[in-house]
Amino acid sequence: MDGTVTEMVSVDGLVRNNPNTWELLHDVPGETRCAVQLFGAKPETFSEALGVLAAHDRVPDAIDVNMGCPVRKVVGAGAGAALMRDPVRAGRVVESVVEAMERRRVRRPVWVKIRSGWDDDSINAPALARVLQDAWASGITVHARTRRAHYSGRADWRVIADVVDAVKIPVLGNGDVRSGEDAVAMLSETGCLGVMVGRAALGAPWIFDPMIAILDGRTPRGNPRPEERIRVVLCHLEMEVALRGSERAARFMRKHIHWYTHGLPGSARLRERVNHCNDAETLHRVLAGYRAKVGNLS
Ligand SMILES: Cc1cc2nc3c(=O)[nH]c(=O)nc-3n(C[C@H](O)[C@H](O)[C@H](O)COP(=O)(O)O)c2cc1C
């Protein structure tokens, strides 16, 4: 079974009715099983935010509570990975989400995303996982790096195995899964129920197809040709225009196009041009021209 998670959605933003927060909750056509990832510091704000979602009839398929974000501003406010340093409050956050749903008689899985710990001297993922299990979390995703490591260095999958041993609820492993072979290795080395993919999917949303093929024991299809990649970019652009309008979509797509075209012929020149496109129509023309050129090469 597969699923997706939204970007981090601020519980304070929901409670304050911030339009930028609501934008993160947009529906994606055809997408099912999408968890909304909430972040915040106070248990009571999570509870209030659940009330706001319910009042708008927007209780998602599942909730994921962020306890892994390393960003200074988030951590400084007591949210994200800061919750790993305060297991009592972390447990109360999960309890308050579960109770807020029970009060409204809605039943949805409540997952939590954690890291290994704050730093190498305070690896507490297994102990914290037990606290979260006691608070009625449905499952836990472990990013096998510390807060101090942010995204650098190799993920230490042994922590995932320790969390699997510590709890009875499902555990997903995360960190350095870039291929079906990596996924198979993580599942067998750690005993986790499933894997979560992060950076490998940036600019390569097709990565899940070969991964699932390998997990199912099928032969994966090859990577898409350059012109097929650009077709996906154009489709992505169209979806962003529907969501954000032409000008914001053109700016938003810059970083994605950087990821999508990494390693393709002429990509440095393309990116330079893309960075000067201020509306979707111009960007579409530039991309279509590039697609014709790379198509002629293959
Ligand atoms: C640009 C970027 C944005 C991210 N945003 C989130 C987020 O909103 N919520 C979250 O739980 N993790 C977020 N992550 C972390 C990833 O989900 C993942 O835990 C991390 O990248 C490790 O997995 P990987 O080695 O497969 O990339 C983000 C990572 C990157 C690089």
Mean pLDDT on 248-277: 96
Region 153-163: mean pLDDT is 98
pTM score, two decimals?
0.95
Phi, psi (rounded to 5 degrees) for 196: -115, 135
Q: Residue 296: is its pLDDT beyond 80?
A: no
The identity of residue 68, as a single letter, is G
Q: Which of 36, 174, 258 to mutate to test the pocket of ligand 1 (most atoms within 8 A of CB)?
A: 174
Q: What angle do CA 99, 102, 107 make, to 5 degrees?
A: 120
Distance in Å, CA 42 to ligand 1 centroid: 22
Any idea what DSSP says for residue 178?
-
Q: Is 287 exposed, middle or buried (0-12, 13-18, 19+ CB in 10 A)?
A: buried
* Mean pLDDT of all residues in 162-181: 97
Q: Can you give the pLDDT at residue 32?
A: 82
The winner for highest mean pLDDT among 98-107, 130-139, 222-231, 288-297 is 130-139
Rg (CA), the chain: 20
Q: Nearest 5°: phi and psi at 24?
A: -70, -15
Confidence band for 285, pLDDT divided at 50, 70 and 90: very high
Look-up: residue for tokens 């590039």?
Answer: 290
Residue type, 149: A
Task: Quick: pLDDT tens for 103-138.
Answer: 999 999 999 999 999 999 999 999 999 999 999 999
What domains are defined for the chain? Answer: 4-201 (3.20.20.70), 226-297 (1.10.1200.80)
Distance, C-alpha 49 to centroid of its chain? 20
How many whole angstroms from 196 Cα to the centroid of ligand 1?
9
C-alpha distances in Å from residue 218, one per residue of 92, 177, 180, 185, 233 = 44, 19, 11, 16, 27
